[in-house]
């Protein structure tokens, strides 16, 4: 009896192969042939699920974004849930944990950062990828804005802080830490990344600490 293949599982496996190839060899090496070999599949099997290279890249890009946004949203929902009261210390650590999902603090997140930065760079000159890169950035900006708005309403945000400006500044900080941490890990270790993030968040609070 032939083995029944779950189409979604197969597509997920191919996406994982895309991530590994990009992280190891660069986006330009993520051809259908190379991805198929990485996944241990015949190229025809990959073509069965993806019409071409562009469709494969878009799927992998959206999969990467969906994973990150799902983790971020889980933290954000906990922060914004009135039925889940937290101490100030617990709230602060939840915010740190949420934003740290975007930093290359371990092998998994470092792979994600390298892959995402590769996609973002390619999107600059590839319109078929640009919309998906914009979608993720807009989602991250909306999420940080929502969290900062919550801080403003609760009186935790520094008086006079411009939420729109601070949300973009926070996104820029995370982008910079991700870039340096992913490509130059010897220059920026996980402890330093977290220390920089904590210092920035402390400067945003009404207490300044």
Mean pLDDT for the chain? 89
Report the distance separating Cα 117 and Cα 81, nearest Å.
Answer: 32
Domain with CATH 1.10.10.60 in the chain: 1-50
Domain with CATH 1.10.357.10 in the chain: 58-204
| Signed CA dihedral, 91, 92, 93, 95: sign only | positive
Fold of 1-50: Arc Repressor Mutant, subunit A (1.10.10)
The pLDDT of residue 1 is: 45
Q: What is the pLDDT of residues 93-119, one digit of tens each?
A: 999 999 999 999 999 899 999 999 999
Candidates 189, 206, 79; CA nearest to 152 is 206
Fold of 58-204: Tetracycline Repressor; domain 2 (1.10.357)
Mean pLDDT, consecutive 10-residue stretches, the chain (209 aa), reads 70 92 92 94 90 90 87 85 81 91 93 91 89 87 89 89 96 95 92 95 74
The pLDDT of residue 90 is: 87
**Element (DSSP H or E) covering residue 23:** helix 7-25
pTM: 0.84
Beta bridge partners, 157, equal 205
């Amino acid at each position: 009896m032939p083995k029944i293949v779950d189409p979604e599982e197969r597509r997920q496996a191919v996406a994982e192969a895309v991530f590994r190839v990009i992280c190891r060899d660069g986006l330009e090496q993520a051809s259908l042939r190379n991805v198929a070999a990485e996944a241990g599949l015949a190229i025809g099997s990959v073509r069965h699920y993806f019409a071409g290279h562009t469709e494969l890249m878009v799927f992998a890009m959206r999969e990467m974004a969906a994973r990150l946004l799902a983790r971020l949203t889980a933290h954000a929902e906990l922060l914004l849930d009135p039925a889940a009261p937290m101490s100030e210390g617990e709230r602060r650590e939840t915010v740190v944990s949420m934003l740290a999902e975007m930093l290359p603090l371990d092998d998994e997140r470092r792979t994600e950062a390298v892959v995402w930065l590769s996609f973002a760079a390619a999107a600059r000159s590839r319109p078929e990828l640009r919309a998906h890169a914009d979608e993720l950035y807009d989602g991250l900006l909306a999420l940080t804005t929502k969290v900062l708005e919550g801080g403003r309403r609760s009186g935790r945000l520094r008086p006079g802080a411009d939420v729109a400006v601070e949300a973009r500044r926070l996104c820029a900080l995370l982008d910079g830490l991700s870039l340096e941490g992913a490509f130059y890990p010897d220059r920026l270790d996980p402890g330093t990344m977290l220390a920089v993030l904590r210092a920035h968040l402390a400067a945003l609070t009404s207490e300044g600490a």
